[in-house]
Structure 1
Amino acid sequence: MKGQDAVNDLLSRTKAIVETIVDGVITISDRGLIETVNPAVEKIFGYRLDELSGQNVSMLMPNPYQREHDSYLSNYLSTGEKKIIGIGREVTGRRKDGSTFPLELAISEMEVNGQRMFTGIVRDISLRKATEEKLRELLTRTKAILDTIVDGVITISDRGCIETVNPAAEKIFGYRLDELSGKNVSMLMPDPYRHEHDQYLKNYLHTGEKKIIGIGREVTGLRKDGTTFPLELAISEMEVNGQRMFTGIVRDISERKETEEKLREAMRRVHEQRIKDEFIATVSHELRTPLTSIKASLELIIGKAVAKGSDQEKMLITIAHKNSDRLLLLINDILDISKIESEKMKLNFRRVRLHSFLETAISDNQAYAEKHHVKFVLIDCPGNLHIYVDPDRLMQVMSNLMSNAAKFSHQNSQIEIEARRRDDGIRITVRDYGPGIPLDFQNRVFEKFTQADTSDKREMSGTGLGLHISKAIIERHHGELSFDTVVGKGTEFHVDLKQQLQRQGSPQ
């Protein structure tokens, strides 16, 4: 009885195990017919035992596994060659409702009462496959991120050796992964950072004191070609499979540093320009006020000297008067240059009749004509033509062009002023028949403090700023100041103004 009880107990335990395990257990005859299944099989496939008993086990598989299984079993029984027996593999199962799912299958052979049978252990691995797919997707996304981010990512062992780098790190330093793998990461740093890094890592591993771990800082990187560059470095610690490792995030900040330097330079220039403007304004005021008084006093003295003084006194007073004029002109020009460079020159636009404007220009500059024994002539200008300009600033340009033409013209010659319509606007021309502009000076005509050399012994006084200022004024009108010259025959200066400005108003 005791022996029978032991057997019954073993059978009960075995039955309990088979009926409660999560894996399906199927017993199959040597003809491939299902004999028994445990509850897990019924749950996995959705069939009851009475629906499965006596049926070919291939009913639980879709094609091509269904056909393959029959041929495998037939081949084994005929040849003894094991292709699936004793081997676990992944196949696809088919439920009663026709849906398929991933299945892990292991078939083993047994003998019961002299009859060969097979046991199939099946496990629904849908959840595992879904998890594996999500993991693959996560790995793919992570790899895509690492492969495409602009920051370099370097993984480092606890001995400071490089294990992996992303494409950005290869691009930043100019090395391939195979050239970096297994090398000390300090190879990417010049001294003294190389020596410091080794010391930092050793100190951290021995004391746990963090000097660079978890802290972003700026260092200098070393490329494969030996060049150095500013680098932003952040090192963090991680644990992979129980092994301590470090991740270095590196960013080439060359462009940022260059931008910061340009910004500092721009701010320095703004500061210097402000100081210069204040200095020029103060000095100009302090100079112009007494010079104006001196000039007025000299004019009074000249009037009296003409009647009473000697020729020597008249000459000295006249020289003093001319030089005071030159100083006032220089001060005014310097103030204009300062306004132009700091973009503080304001223009007051209004509608002006061009013919009347040019007649006024000739009248206002008549003194230059008489002084240099030349004649200003308006040879052409449509009487009904109007322009939209700042008349005071445009008159300043005309005075400069006309005075230059007078100074460099032959005595008793004629200086021609004309205005003509052009396809895109108006052109005002001042034409002289003087010596022309020397070839080696032509590319410097509009530069500051430049004057052409001349063999003419007459006084060619000036500041060398007039044409530079005139060009800036015309450009503020969205126009252009240019010239044509022939050495030995004369020069034409052209003021081109856009027609649209005459209709639409002031430039912004």
Structure 2
Amino acid sequence: MEFALQAALLGAVLGSALLAVTTLYGWSLPAAPNAYGWWAAAFTLEAASKAVLLSGGDSIPIEISDLLHGLAAGLSLCGALSFAGWRITPTLMAVGLVSALGWDWLAHTVRPFLHLDNLPLFGIGGIPLLIAAWAFLWRGGLTAGSGALRLAAIAFAAAGLHQLSAPLLHSHTGLATWSFVASQFLSMVMAVALLVVVLRRQQALVESEGQRANLLHSRLVDALGSVQDAVALFDGNDRLVTCNSLYRAFLAPAAEVIKPGRSFEDILRIEAERGVVPEAQGREQDWLFDMLADHVGPDAPKGAGREFQLWDGRWVAVSVYRTADGGHLRILRDVTSRRQAEASLQEGLNWLRGIMDTVVDGIVTIDDSGSVLSYNPAAERIFGYDATEVVGRNVSMLMPEPFRSAHDGYLKHYAETGEAHVVGIGRQVRGLRKNGETFPLDLAVAEMRQGDMITFIGVVRDITDRKRVEDALVESEQRFRDLAESASDWFWEMDSEFQFTFVSGRVRQILGVGPSFFIGRQFMELAEAGDAIEEWQQQLAMMRAHRPFRGFVFSHRLPSGAVKFVEMAGRPAFDADGLFCGYRGTATDITPLKRHEQELATQSAQRQAIIDNMGHGVVVFDREERLVAMNQPARALLDMPVLSEKKETLETLLLHLALLGEFGRGNAMTKTARRVERLRRNPYQIFEHARPTGMVLEVRSTSMPGGGLILTFADITDRKRVEDTLREAKEAAERGNRAKATFLANISHELRTPLNAIIGFSELMKHEIFGPLEPVSYRTYVDDIHESGMHLLELINDILDMSKAEAGMTDLMDSVVDVAALVRSSLRMMSRRATANGVELIEELPQSLPHLRADERRLRQIVLNLVSNAVKFTDDGGTVTVLARMDEAGFHLCVADTGIGMSPEDMERVMLPFVQADTRLSRKYEGTGLGLPLTKALVEAHGGTLTLSSVPNQGTTVEVTFPPGRIIADATQAIAADETLRRG
């Protein structure tokens, strides 16, 4: 290839590449049409088709060049059709691809006939360029930038004609050189033309957007002026764009700095410095940080609804919404009325909760299916169940049979017939505790209807023990739900005839009807039957006078039948000539506030009803110690007349009682002041008050959440009488027990003196110390005398030990005891008696049994008593087994027999002194009934426990457990412990 041709070809490649880059840049601009994308791809392929020719004049680069040229022509055609307004479909793209391949085949076929040996055919690319030129001319007649479009049309037409003449120009080297030079020039012209077209379109778009922005700004200012909320709009740089007058009124101390162009941070800082928000005083930096975080944080678009109090005492809710351009819309809504309603409602709830916490009667509420809705602390104490175990389950779990099975049938029968067994009557029934115990109780049931909902309130009083007679507070525990207040607004417009012409779509979310429900309707058509027509007429008269209005409220019934309360605000709109053209404004759903008011009234009525129907006397004071409520039982218990709740206070009430003589003689003012001061200092008190009439009252004082005081009064006169009687009986029993113990100790001590002489002389005679005993038959008598004396001595010792144990005076001499050796020696001592009774003694002791720190003599006495008892009450052929083991609970020693056994009643009796479980079997020793009581006393003196388990006619097992602290695990520790105990 000649140098001149190669240089011209290189320039053409650079021109096509510049055109492709320029088109791609224009496509990235906001105003560029989609056709630029197609053209950018086409010009890129065109540059590639020329670039491959730089590698030489072989046939393969020429074939590739024609193929790329055909593909570029197809993409250029898509761009031209797209610019003309056509839609580019996959079918059209497929046709273009087939055409490109067909062109490549055609070029390969006709190139030899045209003698094009060193250059491609080209040519087809001119057709879409001419079509694009036509499209530019056609668009130029419709747009303001027609000059730029005509320039582009001329450039594309020249390039198209140049492309169509390519097959002729490429047939001669000289012509081809100038053809590529012209191609470079035309590419640059097309690039300039395309950039000019895009820039002109962008300029026109900016001008249009400016006009539209001015119009929207005017409408926005009008709309914000009629909004009931304070609204401020900030741009993407957090600078104020506009705000309504109400926004400046809310932030009055800083109003002069709230101007367009002022940054949000500057406005906040001035608000903090001038005390617009009192809570920011002293913590300006922290408050400023929090408000900025809400304004631009990730959650800002939804506005979490922060609320705070302003300088003038009003409460506002702040919502922040992000706009599409990166700015923010800040809305301040006056929520003072709602906050006041919530505070009043919360105070009522606190009163009810405080009353529920002080009553001593169980209160259980159920629905019409028998499921428990609530269960107060007093009911937990009565039935033994926690509230979590009862709420949600059927109330029949608190009833024994047959009431449990029949309960649901009672409810169904009552629902069908209205015939009541318990409801509204009150009766004595039986309840079931968690431990399975049934007990008598008083039950009163009331019914409450709220719409279609039926609730039964049961008040139960445990009457098992008259010592704890309680007059309970009967109250129905209601489930209160917090009302979620919707604060969504919507915009509306009316024409001069007061017909709705526009309603925003948000109305569907609030009222359940779309904008079409309002469009074309007269304002007065919104009035429903039953509304105050005078208020509607007054509102219409105000609108006819073209005055702005705010706070007009009307009701609207939803398709579901529910009623919504709507508050409207609006301002008149005038055209450029000052002629009235209608109204613009907003509407707000204020149903939650109305419901708050209704709920507050309902709660107040319920509270009064509950207090008036309680069994206890209840007096309630608020945080200022003013009398809030006093029920009828309180007046009856205190002999009080009907008082004015608005005038009476805690001090005047106590002064009235003092003047009646309730507090005894003396200065009534002093006594009253002393009691008032004591209640103020310690509001949580429980004390008894004896009235001059002889009645005894139990008074409970409790502080209410948020301030205030509750006093409850219960008549406990009968309980006090029973307590006095039982106290006297207990003291008499204790005196008798002490006299018995003293008598037993004295008489046993007196008996031992002559008994020692009997035993001593019988031993002298038995061993014939002073010579043989004649006749020989006397020896048997002496043995009997000695054995009887020893038995009597053992009996006296048991009585003395039992007396000491009952008096808590058992002395222990601790030492290290080898329990295994002690048990074996004890079994050897009992072996003769066991053999005589035909009983087998079995020892089951582990080899590694540890030592025990205990009184060895008392421990031996424990083992002998248990084994002796087991042998005595085991028939011929039975067994007595002694076992020992150690675990985490302590050291266990068990004696099990296969004897006559005992019933549960006998097991309780045998632990009493001088009582035996069986009188049927008496072999050698009748017994005194002191064995088990004395053994238990000795075990408890060691800090252990004794337990019995027995089955009649099968046997008895006695288990003795010593605490872990008495176990000595190894021999070294045993030697050291023995040395320590020996030395004291």
- Give the TM-score taking structure 1 as reference length: 0.47
**Bigger relative CO (Cα 8 Å, ≥ 6 apart):** 1
Higher strand content, 1 or 2? 1
- Report the structure number with the largest CA radius of gyration: 2
- Give the TM-score taking structure 2 as reference length: 0.26
